[in-house]
C-alpha cells in the first residue's frame, strides 16, 4: 500500500483474502480503517457506514451526509476515507472488487444487464438512501457469517438490489479518474511515485523515460497503452486533483493554487480546470463553500 505524498492520491493495492474473489472488511472503533487518506484503486468500492455523519470527497465532488451512508464508487476515482473525521459512526464495512471479478464476460450475460449498468453509473459515484441503504447494510453485515459460496451468492443479490433501486443520488464525481490496467505494477508504481514527488515541477519526458529504463518513444507508447491517455494528460489530471483539494480545504488564492499544483500558466490552468471539473476554479470554490454552509447551517 502506498501512502499519499504531497497531498496527491496514493495507489492502493487490494488483495482479496484466500478463497474469495472480492475483498470484504469491517472497521470499528477497536479496529479503525487505516486506508490512505487520499487514494484511488482500479477496484469498485462499496462503503456502508452505520450512523454518524461526515464528508464525501470523491474526485472533484464534495458533499456531506448524516445518519450513515451507503456509497458505491467506480474504479480509479480518487477519494478520501469516509470515516476518518466522523463523529458518532458505529461501524464501517468496505467491499472492493474488480469489474471482472467473476470473469471477463460474466456481467455481459443477459441476466446481469442491470448490474452491468450499475457498474457504469458508479463511475460518477453513487450514494444510496432509504430502505435500500438499510437492507443492503444488513445484508453486508450478514456476509461475515457465511461460507465462501453463500457469501458470493448473497453479494450478487446485494448488487442486484443496488441495480434495481431508485433510492440513490449520482454524485457527479466523474471527469477525473486515474486509470491503469492491471499489468506491470512495479513499473506503474515507480511512475506514480515519480509523479507524486515531482508534480509541482516541469517533468521532462526524457527524465521519466530514463526512470522507466525506456526510450522516450517506447515510454510514450507504453504509457498510452496502459492508461489510455498521454503522460502529459495524466500529470495534468494529478495536478487538477491537487488543485481541487487546495480549493476545498485551504485558503490559498486562485493564483497560489495554480502554481502550487504545478501549473506555470494561469490561463492554461483555468482552461484545463474548467474542462475537467465543469467549473472555473473560483466557481468551484464557491460551490464547495455553498455545500458546507447548507449542510451545516441549513441542513
56 in the Ramachandran plot: left (φ > 0), alpha (ψ -120 to 50) or beta? beta
* Domain limits, the chain: 10-170, 185-293
pLDDT score, position 5: 41
pLDDT score, position 3: 39
CA distance 77 to 62: 13
Helix (H) or strand (E) holding 287: helix 281-293
Q: Are strands 44-50 and 168-170 parallel, antiparallel or unpaired?
A: unpaired
**Most confidently modeled of 3-12, 159-168, 287-296?**
159-168
Residue linked to cell 455545500? 291
CA distance 203 to 251: 27
Helix (H, G, I), strand (E, B) or coil at 187: helix
Phi first, then psi: what are they for 95, rounded to 5°? -120, 135
The neighbour count for residue 250, using CB atoms within 10 Å, is: 11
Query: Which of 82-86, 110-114, 142-146, 161-165 has the weakest average pLDDT?
Result: 82-86
Q: What does the pLDDT average to over 81-100?
A: 72
Q: Mind listing the pLDDT tens digit for each residue in 215-225? A: 999 999 988 88
Answer yes or no: are the C-beta atoms of 62 and 288 closer than 8 Å. yes
| Residue 128 cell numbers, joined | 444510496
Answer yes or no: are the C-beta atoms of 25 and 94 closer than 8 Å. yes
Whether pLDDT at 174 is above 80: no
For residues 256, 261, 265 and 267, what is the CA-based torsion angle, rounded to 10 degrees? -80
The neighbour count for residue 294, using CB atoms within 10 Å, is: 12
Q: Mind listing the pLDDT tens digit for each residue in 40-79? A: 778 899 999 988 777 777 776 767 777 889 999 988 777 7
Q: How far is CA 98 from CA 3, 42, 56, 76, in A?
A: 21, 7, 22, 11
Question: Which architecture does CATH list for 185-293?
Answer: Orthogonal Bundle (1.10)
- Positive or negative: CA dihedral 147, 153, 157, 158: positive
Whether pLDDT at 9 is above 70: no
Q: Let me know if domain 10-170 sits in CATH 1.10.10.10.
A: no
The pTM score is 0.60
Amino acid at each position: 500500500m502506498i501512502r499519499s505524498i504531497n497531498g496527491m492520491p496514493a495507489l492502493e493495492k487490494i488483495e482479496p483474502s484466500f478463497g474469495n474473489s472480492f475483498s470484504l472488511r469491517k472497521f470499528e472503533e477497536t479496529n479503525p480503517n487505516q486506508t490512505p487518506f487520499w487514494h484511488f484503486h482500479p477496484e469498485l468500492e462499496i462503503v456502508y457506514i452505520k450512523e454518524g455523519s461526515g464528508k464525501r470527497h470523491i474526485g472533484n465532488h464534495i458533499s456531506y451526509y448524516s445518519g450513515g451512508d451507503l456509497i458505491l464508487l467506480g474504479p480509479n476515482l480518487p477519494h478520501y476515507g469516509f470515516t476518518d473525521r466522523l463523529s458518532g459512526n458505529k461501524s464501517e464495512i468496505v467491499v472492493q472488487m474488480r469489474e471482472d471479478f467473476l470473469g471477463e464476460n460474466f456481467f455481459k450475460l443477459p441476466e446481469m444487464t442491470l448490474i452491468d449498468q450499475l457498474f457504469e453509473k458508479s463511475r460518477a459515484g453513487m450514494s444510496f438512501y432509504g430502505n435500500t441503504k438499510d437492507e443492503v447494510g444488513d445484508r453486508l453485515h450478514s456476509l461475515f457469517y457465511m461460507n465462501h459460496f453463500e457469501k458470493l451468492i448473497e453479494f450478487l443479490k446485494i448488487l442486484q438490489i443496488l441495480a434495481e433501486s431508485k433510492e440513490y443520488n449520482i454524485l457527479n464525481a466523474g471527469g477525473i479518474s486515474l486509470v491503469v490496467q492491471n499489468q506491470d505494477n512495479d513499473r506503474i508504481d515507480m511512475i506514480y511515485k515519480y509523479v507524486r514527488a515531482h508534480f509541482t515541477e516541469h517533468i521532462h519526458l526524457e527524465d521519466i523515460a530514463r526512470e522507466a529504463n525506456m526510450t522516450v518513444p517506447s515510454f510514450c507508447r507504453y504509457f498510452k497503452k496502459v492508461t489510455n491517455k498521454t503522460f502529459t494528460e495524466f500529470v495534468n489530471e494529478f495536478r487538477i486533483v491537487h488543485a481541487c483539494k487546495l480549493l476545498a480545504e485551504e485558503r490559498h488564492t486562485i493564483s497560489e493554487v495554480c502554481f502550487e499544483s504545478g501549473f506555470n500558466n494561469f490561463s492554461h490552468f483555468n482552461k484545463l480546470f474548467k474542462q475537467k471539473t465543469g467549473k472555473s476554479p473560483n466557481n468551484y470554490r464557491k460551490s464547495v463553500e455553498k455545500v458546507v454552509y447548507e449542510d451545516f447551517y441549513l441542513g
